[in-house]
Chain A
Amino acid sequence: MKRFVGRQVVQLAIVIVGISILSFSILHVIGDPVVLFVQEGAPKEEHERFRKLLGLDQPVYVQYWRFASRAVQGDFGKSWYGDMPVLDLVMERMPPTIYLTFAGLAVALLIAFPLGTLAALRRHTIVDTFCTMVAVGGQAMPIFWLGIMLIIIFAVQLRLLPASGYGTWQHFLMPAFTLGAFLAPITMRLVRSGLIDVMSTEYIKTARAKGLGERMVVAKHAFRNACIPVITVLGLQFGQLLGGAVVTETVFAWPGVATLTVEAIRNQDFPVVQCAVVLLALIIVTVNFIVDLVVGLIDPRVRVGA
C-alpha cells in the first residue's frame, strides 16, 4: 500500500506541474499579453516598454519560474480590472460551483443506479431497451440546450421555477437536473455493464448455490463489486463533470467560477482565467487522487497492478 500511495503522489506532482505549464503557455506562448495592454497602432517603443514592464523580455523559462513560484504562494496576480487579488475573486465564486457539481452528481446517481440496476437484472427485455434508449438520447443531448428548454417550459410557460440565479433550493432544481442529465447516461451504462459482468462470476454462483435469496445475492454480493468500476470511472469523469458545470452555469447565470471565467474571457482579464483554470484543475487532480486511493483500498488488485 505504501508503494502504491508513493507512486500516486509522484503521478499527482507531475500532473500538477504539467497543468501549470499548460495554463502558463496558453497565455504566454500562444497569446501575447502586450497586445492587450498597448493601444492599437501604438509605436514600437511603446510595445517594448510594456514588454519590459511585464517582464516579457526575459526567456520563457524565467517567466514560467516566476509565475510558478508566485502561484505556489497563492499569488496569481491582480485582476486587470478592479485591482483585486485574483485568488480572492476566484475563491469567492468557488462554493456555488462546488454545490452545483455535487447536486448534479447526486441527481446523476439517483437516475443512473436504479435504471442501470433494472436494465442489468431485466437484461434483453423491454425495460433494458427503454433504459438504453434513455442513455443514448441523454448522451446526444447538448446540455446547454436542455437547460434552455427547461427554462422555457418551467420558468417561462409554467412559471414554476426561477429562470436563473442562486439562493433558494428552487434555484438548484433545474441546474442540478441539467448537470445530472449530462453525467447520468454514462454512469447508467457503467452500472449496467458492471452488474452484468459481476452476475456471471463464480462467487455469485456460489452465493446462489448456498441458497441465498436473489435479492440478497444482488444487494450484498453483486452490487458492491459492480460499484468498483463505477467509482473509478466517475473519478476520472470528475473533470468532465466540472466541464459540464461550466456549461450549466453559463446557461443559468449561476454565480460560480465558470461564469466568472467566461466574463473574464470576454473582458480579456487573463490573470482571472489563468487562476480559475489552475484551481479547477487542482480540484480535479485531487479528486482523482482520492478516488484512486479509495479504489486501491477497496480492491487489492488495483494496488498491485498498473
Chain B
Amino acid sequence: MATLEATHAGSMPEPTGLQSVRRRLWRLKWGVAAGVVLALIVASAVLAPSIAGHDPLRVNIRHRLVPPAWMSGGDAAHLLGTDQVGRDLLSRILYGGRVSLVVGIAAVSISSTIGVLLGLAAGYFGRRTDWAIMTAVNIMLTFPFVLLALSVIAVMGPSLRNMILVIGVAGWPIYCRVVRAQTLAIREREFVLAGLALGMSHARIVFRQILPNVISPIVVIATLQIAQVIILESFLSFLGLGIQPPTPAWGNMLGEGRIYMLNSWWIATFPGLAIFLTTLVINLMGNALRDWLDPHMKL
C-alpha cells in the first residue's frame, strides 16, 4: 500500500486516508451487489425446471398475447405475460438464461485457452513465432467479429455447438495480446533467468513461472468477455442464426417479439432486459475484480 500512496502522491492531490478507504469500500460494494445479483441469475437459470411456473414450450393459444400481470387484462398466473402462442414469458426467460450462460462460459473457456497458449508462445519465444502469431492477431482484430461469426455460422449451420465453437475460436486475440505483453515483461525478470540457469525446461518455465504471473488479467478479461459473448449469442439468435425456436433463448425470443411489438411490447422488452441486466452485473463484477486484483491494470 505504501508504494501505491507514494506513486500517487506526486501527481494528484490525494484524499485523506479515511476518504480513500471509504471510496474503496464504495467501489467494492457495487461489485459485491453485482455478484449477488449474478448469483441469483445463475441460480434461477440452473433451478429453472423447479422454479418456473409453466412449461416453457407449452403452447396455449387461448392465452396468447396476455399482457404482464400489472396491466389491465393481465393474468396473475403469467407475471410477465405470454407470447404469440400463449407460452409463459417468465418461464421462457428463466430457461433462456441457461443457454446464454452455457454459451458464455463455454466459449470463453475455449478462447481463453487458445489465447493464453498463443500469447505465452509469442511472448516467450519471440522472433518468428511472435511475428506469426501477432500477424494472425492483427488480421483477426481487423475482421469484425460479428461478420466472421455470421458467415461461419451460415456455412456450418446454426446450432448450439456450432455457435460455441465459432465464438470460442474467434475470440482468442484479446487474451493473446494481453498475455504476450505480460510475458514479454516477465521473461526479463531474475527468477526466469535463475530458472534457465538451473536448467529448467521451457515448458516448466512457461507454465510454472510465467503463467501464474499473468493469471489476474486473464481472469478479468474472461469475466468481461462472458458479457460480450452473451450479447453476440443473443444477436445471432435474434437473427435466427443461433439457437433455433422453440428452444427458448433470450435472443430468439427478442427476434420473435419484434414482429409483435406494435401491440405487444412486453415480448421483446423483457428478454432484452434480461440480457441487459446480466451483462451489466457481469461487467460490474469484472471491474470490481480488476480493482481488487490490481488497481493499476490497464484494460
Contacts and interface: CB of A to CB of B under 8 A. Distances in A.
Interface of A: 11, 14-15, 18-19, 22-23, 26-27, 30-31, 124, 136-137, 139-142, 144-145, 148-149, 151-152, 156, 200, 236, 239-240, 242-243, 246-247, 250, 261-262, 265-266, 268, 270, 273-274, 277, 280-281, 284-285, 288
A57 B273 CA distance: 50
Nearest to B271: A145
| Contact-residue bracket for chain B | 35 or more
A239 B143 CA distance: 6
Nearest to A276: B147
B60 interface: no
A100 B102 CA distance: 34
A18 B148 CA distance: 13
27 contacts: A22-B148, A30-B152, A31-B156, A124-B15, A124-B23, A139-B283, A140-B227, A140-B280, A140-B282, A144-B235, A144-B254, A145-B275, A148-B257, A148-B272, A149-B272, A152-B265, A152-B269, A243-B146, A246-B147, A265-B150, A265-B154, A265-B241, A277-B143, A277-B147, A284-B142, A284-B143, A284-B144
Interface in B188-226: none
B276 to A, nearest CB: 6
Interface in B11-56: 11-12, 15, 23
A81 B276 CA distance: 38
A140 B227 CA distance: 7
Contact of A26 (B12, B155, B241, B280): B155
B231 interface: yes
A18 B280 contact: no
Chain A residues touching B, majority SS: helix
Given A136-B284, A140-B227, A152-B269, A11 B261 contact: no
A75 B283 CA distance: 44
A139 B286 CA distance: 13
Contacts of B156: 30-31
B142 A19 contact: yes
B258 A148 contact: yes
B268 A148 contact: yes
B292 interface: no
B183 interface: no
Nearest to A242: B144
A200 B136 CA distance: 37
A23 B280 contact: no
Given A141-B276, A142-B231, A156-B261, A27 B146 contact: no
A250 B239 CA distance: 8
Given A18-B135, A152-B269, A261 B254 contact: no
B276 A140 contact: yes
Nearest to B23: A124
Nearest to A145: B272
B269 A149 contact: yes
A277 B151 contact: yes
Nearest to B11: A200
Interface in B228-285: 231, 234-235, 238-241, 254, 257-258, 261-262, 265, 268-269, 272, 275-276, 279-280, 282-284
Contact of A247 (B141, B152, B235, B240): B235
A70 to B, nearest CB: 19
Contact of B146 (A145, A247, A273): A247
Given A139-B283, A145-B254, A273-B154, A240 B144 contact: yes
Given A23-B151, A142-B235, A18 B144 contact: no
A245 B124 CA distance: 38
B293 interface: no
B237 to A, nearest CB: 11
Nearest to B238: A144
A191 B138 CA distance: 24
A239 B254 contact: no
A19 B152 CA distance: 14
B287 interface: yes
A261 B147 contact: yes
A285 B239 CA distance: 27
Given A144-B235, A280-B147, 4 more contacts: A152-B268, A239-B142, A243-B145, A261-B151
Given A140-B283, A265-B151, A15 B139 contact: yes
A104 to B, nearest CB: 14
Nearest to B154: A265
B281 to A, nearest CB: 8
B151 A148 contact: no
A285 B135 CA distance: 13
Contacts of A19: 139, 142-143
A142 B239 contact: no
B143 A281 contact: yes
Which residue, B146, B155, B240, has most C-beta atoms of chain A within 10 A? Answer: B155
